[in-house]
Structure 1
Amino acid sequence: MLLQLILWTTLLLESISAKDVYYDWHVTWVTAAPDGYERSVIGINNQWPCPQIDVDVGDRLIIDVHNDLGNQDTGIHWHGLHQYMTGYMDGAPGVTQCPIPPGRSMRYVVDVNQTGTYWYHSHRMGQYPDGLRGALIVHDPDAPFEYDDEFTLLLSDWYHEEMTPLIQSYLSENDPATGGLEPLPDSALVNDATNTTFPVEPGKTYLIHLIVVGNWPGFAFLFDDHEMTVVEVDGVYIDPFPVGSRNLRLATGQRASILLRTKDDTSKNYAFWTIMDINMMFIYENRTIPEGYNPNATAWLVYDETKPLPPAPPQYEFDFVDDLEFVPFDHEPLLEPVDHQIIMDFNSAAVEGGLTRFVINNHTYYEQQTPTLYSALMMDSHHTENNVSAYGAVNPYVVNYGDVVEIVLNDYHSNLHPWHLHGHQFQCLQRTIPNGGYFDGYFANISATPVKRDTLMVQGHGHFFGLIGFVRVWLFHCHIEWHVVKGMITTIIEAPDRLKDMEVPEDQLRLCGNYPFASELSKKPGKSRSKTGQMEPKH
């Protein structure tokens, strides 16, 4: 009885403290020069960098997004948030919604029931490398560690040219500027700037949220003469993991939170040093490093503004922490038994028309006019894995409600690829080193409590496999934007027989114009669909 009273009181307090957090965003072009080179970027409300979102666990995030770009449509994805029962708010045009055309608006409503480090970004044709991205931090009053203060640190590559012409060049195999290879970034940024400083006080513990919001290479980094302890990855608390003398690295789309204890005096300032992954950009692509090319960026922990900012420490060798060593704080055991196995072999290959695209099991991905979620909503409840062709060229895989799904990724490409799953975290069981070989059906050294992530790097000519405890339609894709536009995407369709009760808000369907599927979905009988999707926010 006492336990029931405690649980009831906890739920009551959470419901009282939960609140609606409202934003009104106009997506606009802005002029900025983050590394000294001026160019047009995509900002919010005529400002760039885009704002950080800060919410508490249990809040409801309500954002009205107005597309004022004039020349591009858009959509916003809430990277890492599960969107349980609200997959139509995932923000992936062509998958969970129609894109927001210029001059139109859409309301996103996101129930924030996770804690940790996330980010938001456009999921539309190269827009987030053009600037439409920002941090989303979910604060937890009951975090399993103590700290005095916190700040966020964004890492990204940066390009002096806008993404639209760069993508056109990349997709043209005969373009002498790229030869079919990814365009090289012009610089690396920390918090969308160079020479960034972070004021700190002596003798305090800081919780630092690290997010790689870039387009292509991953990042290695260190704080000079300061030790890091990892306490969260991709929104999952882990048992505190001291990094020691090793280095951390994060791939595009990955996040981590670390605890850092500052010095007890203010006698000097210290560098934060980071480098873009040279292997991804040059070594694995057999490309020569241009003379004078600088993949580094430096920021500083500033104890005393009157003291000089020291140079970055020399770094000649890297000993990276393997994130499969992390143990989730909840010690969730290995999911079993496995109900379904999906093996995905991916590589680049010539497709119909002779163009080179990325393929998964010999099939590439093309965005559909009808969003995949809408296709699933219109199908009957007996649509199974045997007739998935009705979804179109989206590399669909259908899984049943409650299935434990084992996903194997065999990377037949020479480079590394950070794979991101929408709507879920997966248990990470096994990953080979570069050139470590493809999955042969055997498992070795599997943790009884494997780390959980939503983004994981797969090594070239190696493999990864993980488990997912699956009810919606989700993308699973390489998070390198160059590879997204070339088709390295698949779609996981969960329990289509249970989608019949999902009601897409009318304001989303109106974005689809006069297409028949929008009219058909609008006529579906339902109990909860709002005619406008517009709810009055509580401030």
Structure 2
Amino acid sequence: MSPLWNDYNQSKAFSKSVLSLMGSSKPPANHDRRIILLNTQNRIDRPIKWGLSTMFQSYFLRLHSKEQSSILERVRMTTPFHPRHTHKTIISGAPEGGHKTVISWHGGVYMLHMNATIDVILQNANALNDKFSEIHPWHFHDHDWLLAYREGKFEPQKDEAKLNLKNQPRGTRGLSFHMFGYLDIKGCVVLMGPRTKASKALVLRFSLSILFLELGLASRVRHFKWETEYMFWSPDCIENVVLGINGQFPGPTIRARAGDTIVVDLTNKLHTEGVVIHWHGIRQFGSPWADGTASISQCAINPGETFEYRFKVDKAGTYFYHGHLGMQRSAGLYGLLIVDVAEGEKEPFHYDGEYDLLLSDWWHQSSQKQEVSLSSKPFRWIGEPQTPPQKYQRGSLQSLLPYCTKKFNVLTSKFVACNISERISICFASFKENFMPYIHPHYLTTTLLLLPFQDHKLLVVEADGNYVQPFLVDDLDIYSGESYSVLLTTNQDPTKNYYVSVSVRGRKPNTPQGLTILNYVPTSASVLPTSPPPISPLWNDYNHSKAFSKTVLSLMGSPKPPVNHDRRIFLLNTQNKIEGYTKWALNNVSLVLPPTPYLGAIKYRLKGAYDNSIPPETFPGDYNIMVPPTNPNSTYGNGIYMLGMNTIVDVILQNANALDENTSEIHPWHLHGHDFWVLGYGEGKFDPQKDDAKLNLKNPPLRNTAIIFPYGWTALRFMADNPGVWAFHCHIEPHLHMGMGVIFAEGVEHVKNIPDHALACGLTAKFLMKQEP
């Protein structure tokens, strides 16, 4: 027999039993804003209406891009009345005035700040009839989390402690589950919205038609027209050929806000080779063909052709872009991409100025010569980035910084320092005590750099576009593919200048320390610092580097990793030989990309486009990582790791000895299309039985690039929730060129609206030509 229709105790017991699965995301501990909605039945000019805090929603908005501006003006004048009277309302009887109760029509919108955490208290009450209160199932579009049910009126002082912040139920946004909260008789439901990552304008509708409009509505389209071509340049006084954009080297800086759409029309004017641009750190949700990876997400752009990159930047952070074909990154094809917080939002820390710092290697030999050297037999290592002639070294070296600018790039296209009298400097435009600039260092090319600012502490606050627990350092370890944001306080003697140095780590350098000047205005930048430059740790002091990497932890409130994984892939990093050629390999397979882009090959199920055999997911358990491989011979491959949609994937990066004895190199690994949690670093060979317990599941940082140290392992975890085909590779460009990468694919069947011109090469070109009428 069914319970009685009004047996609400059974309904309540059922609802309260719904708890989240272990490993699900937890809500932030605190809210930024709380909205209390009193649910009442009332009258407006006699007709019976339902209202929220004595308001009835009078219209429904359907937003289109052309209407957004006028709609915003409309809703700003009609913000809903905040129910300050709710604490005085008696919920157990009919509304005062009975059938004469009158409420107002209203068409306002709650304007919510992007990424804010919102509490909504749904407070039920008596309807027009005495001793009668109805159930209301509330539906919240595009957001999840349900925290508690309670009897009577919500009392913050006593009910706050009863909220479930441990294992509240929620849906999975990527799977389009929706949360339904039930408003019990004379009770209340408390909901907390997550820190949304929405990048589009959303109208969030409750079933009783209160509208919530996110400030993402203010996002805009930022359009750029670029031409890339080779040109002569001499940033270190030695003329060389570089790859520039619109006559600039480095390329133009893109500045946008979270939620914006970036459109770049890229025209290839190289005459003899293709080109692509990868938007490093941008996850490309819904636009995997815009990732800018030749043979993976798109065809290379042919000479004379123009390709439109169109994508949304879904979260604030410090990013960059670079070429992703051959050695074009080494040739100079790169620039900055800075995404500020959405309109109306603020960073979670204060700063007084902002400086962008782009670090890269500078080569005198051409990228074509580098490619041939790396692919030759016998192998010819390209060596280190070049050092300027001795007479130009002081104050210039590898990293050239412009004199007295608020925004600057290393290796600037605007400044050349060819003698000591033109020594370059970082200049703060004005000095005041505790002036705090926000500095964004990025590193692009080969291995590891150390960046200290003499006598100044650096407060690290962001890594790879994700906030981290702030921590102070004397210097910044930065690997190829990484980006950071740091705060520096100008609390030293303003009458002096200070050295900023750059030194090579991870490889025994022949290049001397690079120096520039940190200058306090109005002190002359020509005055040398009175103290010697900072002394860097030895190039192979890996304990210093490991301590830095292990200090990077996620900020409180950041998403936590699921407790368990669905799949674990071990990738053994080795240096090998194939027919006498020196290569890098993963599980004894060296990557060679196919002529047909994977995205089209998988989407259109084209046979013969790539190797259909499954790549190895582990390596022999008896492999000795401490010595050179006993059998150095490897094989080429271009197979794909097919990942189940929304599965949790662990990747264990295992380092080993290279071909030479007592040599194991640092490798910074970068994942396209995702952020991953860095669960831990370890020495020697990873042992699941003892090392699983050491993994950090509490506050691991979210990154898109992570280091693997010599003779050690690094454990990563990510959710395969972004339909597309994604590269995962060592970000040292020569290593990638020599085969150090793998390919992941997930949910390609869900990818829609791929531009035909993105895939107009190889087998996809033939396929698309057959589809034409």
Q: Same fold (TM over 0.5)?
A: yes
2:681 matched to which residue of 1?
A: 431
Distance in 2 between residues matched to 1:3 and 1:259, nearest whole Å: 38
| 2:357 equivalent to 1:153 | yes
Is the CA contact 2:442–2:482 (under 8 Å) kept in the aligned structure 1?
yes
2:124 matched to which residue of 1?
A: none
2:591 matched to which residue of 1?
A: 365
Distance in 2 between residues matched to 1:328 and 1:92, nearest whole Å: 29
| 2:331 equivalent to 1:104 | no
Deviation of the 1:196 alpha carbon: 4.0
| 2:517 equivalent to 1:317 | no
Backbone CA RMSD of aligned residues:
2.7
Q: Deviations over 1:236-285 (max 9, x none)?
A: 01122122xx43201001000001111376312222111122x32x3xxx
Is the CA contact 1:363–1:395 (under 8 Å) kept in the aligned structure 2?
no
Deviation of the 1:46 alpha carbon: 1.8
1:302-313 paired onto structure 2 within 5 Å? 302-304=520-522, 306-311=524-529, 313=533
Distance in 2 between residues matched to 1:183 and 1:235, nearest whole Å: 31
Q: Deviations over 1:354-402 (max 9, x none)?
A: 322111111111111111111110229xxxx98548xx93242111011
Q: Which has the higher contact order (CA 8 A, sep 6+)?
A: 1
Which range moves more in the overlay, 101-110 or 42-51? 42-51
1:495 aligned residue (747, 752, 761): 747
2:702 matched to which residue of 1?
A: 452
1:468 matched to which residue of 2?
A: 718
| 2:411 equivalent to 1:192 | yes
Aligned partner letter, 2:694: N
Aligned partner letter, 1:484: L
Distance in 1 between residues matched to 2:305 and 2:612, nearest whole Å: 38
1:535 matched to which residue of 2?
A: none
1:144-293 paired onto structure 2 within 5 Å? 144-174=348-378, 179-187=379-387, 188-190=398-400, 191-193=410-412, 195-200=423-428, 201-202=430-431, 203=433, 204-213=435-444, 215-243=445-473, 246-263=474-491, 266-277=494-505, 279-280=506-507, 282=508, 293=511
Is the CA contact 2:597–2:759 (under 8 Å) kept in the aligned structure 1?
no
Structure 1's 124 and 157: CA in aligned 2 closer, same or farther, altered over 3 A? same
Distance in 1 between residues matched to 2:347 and 2:367, nearest whole Å: 39
Deviation of the 1:60 alpha carbon: 0.7
Structure 1's 3 and 325: CA in aligned 2 closer, same or farther, altered over 3 A? farther
Is the CA contact 2:494–2:523 (under 8 Å) kept in the aligned structure 1?
no
2:669 matched to which residue of 1?
A: 419
Is the CA contact 2:425–2:525 (under 8 Å) kept in the aligned structure 1?
no
Specify the SS of the correspondent of 1:324: helix
Distance in 2 between residues matched to 1:461 and 1:86, nearest whole Å: 37
Is the CA contact 1:197–1:302 (under 8 Å) kept in the aligned structure 2?
no
Distance in 2 between residues matched to 1:268 and 1:9, nearest whole Å: 43
Distance in 1 between residues matched to 2:649 and 2:568, nearest whole Å: 6
Deviation of the 1:295 alpha carbon: 4.3
Is the CA contact 1:155–1:211 (under 8 Å) kept in the aligned structure 2?
yes
| 2:218 equivalent to 1:23 | no
2:582 matched to which residue of 1?
A: 356
Specify the SS of the correspondent of 2:223: strand
Structure 1's 299 and 3: CA in aligned 2 closer, same or farther, altered over 3 A? farther
1:41 matched to which residue of 2?
A: 242
Specify the SS of the correspondent of 2:694: coil
Distance in 2 between residues matched to 1:523 and 1:9, nearest whole Å: 49
Aligned partner letter, 2:478: L
Specify the SS of the correspondent of 2:638: coil
Q: Any stretches of 5+ residues in structure 1 without a counterpart?
A: 283-288, 526-530, 532-539
Structure 1's 269 and 369: CA in aligned 2 closer, same or farther, altered over 3 A? same
Structure 1's 520 and 294: CA in aligned 2 closer, same or farther, altered over 3 A? same
Structure 1's 247 and 15: CA in aligned 2 closer, same or farther, altered over 3 A? closer
Structure 1's 374 and 393: CA in aligned 2 closer, same or farther, altered over 3 A? farther
Distance in 2 between residues matched to 1:460 and 1:264, nearest whole Å: 38
Is the CA contact 1:82–1:422 (under 8 Å) kept in the aligned structure 2?
yes
Q: Deviations over 1:49-88 (max 9, x none)?
A: 2111111111111000000011221000000000012111
Distance in 1 between residues matched to 2:36 and 2:381, nearest whole Å: 60
1:504-515 paired onto structure 2 within 5 Å? 504-510=754-760, 512=761, 515=762
Specify the SS of the correspondent of 2:594: coil
1:65 matched to which residue of 2?
A: 266
Which range moves more in the overlay, 45-54 or 113-122? 45-54
Is the CA contact 2:667–2:709 (under 8 Å) kept in the aligned structure 1?
yes
Distance in 1 between residues matched to 2:310 and 2:253, nearest whole Å: 17
Is the CA contact 2:501–2:534 (under 8 Å) kept in the aligned structure 1?
no
Specify the SS of the correspondent of 2:590: coil
Structure 1's 398 and 266: CA in aligned 2 closer, same or farther, altered over 3 A? same
Deviation of the 1:226 alpha carbon: 1.2
Deviation of the 1:522 alpha carbon: 6.9
Which range moves more in the overlay, 264-273 or 246-255? 264-273
Query: Number of matched residues?
Result: 496
Is the CA contact 2:686–2:713 (under 8 Å) kept in the aligned structure 1?
yes
Specify the SS of the correspondent of 2:715: strand
Is the CA contact 2:235–2:411 (under 8 Å) kept in the aligned structure 1?
yes
2:35 matched to which residue of 1?
A: 2
Structure 1's 368 and 264: CA in aligned 2 closer, same or farther, altered over 3 A? same
Distance in 2 between residues matched to 1:524 and 1:198, nearest whole Å: 57
Is the CA contact 2:665–2:709 (under 8 Å) kept in the aligned structure 1?
yes
Structure 1's 43 and 370: CA in aligned 2 closer, same or farther, altered over 3 A? same
2:565 matched to which residue of 1?
A: 338
Q: Any stretches of 5+ residues in structure 2 without a counterpart?
A: 1-33, 38-108, 115-201, 203-212, 388-397, 401-409, 418-422, 539-543, 616-635, 659-663
Distance in 1 between residues matched to 2:674 and 2:512, nearest whole Å: 36
Is the CA contact 2:438–2:488 (under 8 Å) kept in the aligned structure 1?
yes
| 2:730 equivalent to 1:478 | yes
Deviation of the 1:519 alpha carbon: 4.4
Structure 1's 99 and 307: CA in aligned 2 closer, same or farther, altered over 3 A? closer
Is the CA contact 1:67–1:102 (under 8 Å) kept in the aligned structure 2?
yes
Is the CA contact 1:428–1:465 (under 8 Å) kept in the aligned structure 2?
yes
Distance in 2 between residues matched to 1:126 and 1:265, nearest whole Å: 44
Structure 1's 309 and 395: CA in aligned 2 closer, same or farther, altered over 3 A? farther
Distance in 2 between residues matched to 1:145 and 1:108, nearest whole Å: 33
TM-score (norm 1): 0.86
- Max Rg structure: 2
Distance in 2 between residues matched to 1:474 and 1:8, nearest whole Å: 34
Distance in 2 between residues matched to 1:386 and 1:164, nearest whole Å: 32
Q: Percent identity?
A: 28
Structure 1's 104 and 463: CA in aligned 2 closer, same or farther, altered over 3 A? same
Structure 1's 84 and 356: CA in aligned 2 closer, same or farther, altered over 3 A? same
